[in-house]
Amino acid sequence: MEKEKEAKKERPARVVFIEILGRGVTAVKTPQGLRAALKGEQIDAESVQKYLKQKFGEELDEARAAMEKLAKAYTPRQLAVEAYGLYEKFRPEIPEGMKGWGAKGELDLDAIHTLAK
């Protein structure tokens, strides 16, 4: 583990910006491919998994499967063009008086399944 930390310090990651749903996302190039980044450092996949598990609870696997099915229903080019419109159709309704990405809402998995058909 110490060698990994030293190697990380020796060669800085190459930061790139990619567009997802019309938003710029910071990423770094790694031997495994592009990975999301924060302040030039690769985001730890375990912390992301923990966050998702906390937010989705027992429905995480079902939500992931529904979204993967939806993504596979489109070609990559179609998905690049239509992704945000699809998101607008299934994104959770936010209760009145709440706003922002952190506002809690109910994700309708049936709506995602319907869009995948």
In tens, the pLDDT along 73-102 reads 999 999 989 998 999 999 887 777 776 666
pLDDT one-digit tens code per residue, 21-68 = 778 889 998 888 889 999 888 999 899 999 999 989 999 999 999 999
Q: Which residue has the higher pLDDT, 9 or 36?
A: 36
What pTM was computed for the model? 0.71
CA gap 116, 71 in Å, rounded: 8
**What b/e readout covers 87-112, taking b as 16+ CB neighbours within 10 angstroms?**
eeebeeeeeeeeeeeeeeeebeeebb
d(CA 84, CA 40): 26
Shortest CA distance to 93 belongs to which of 79, 107, 113, 111?
107
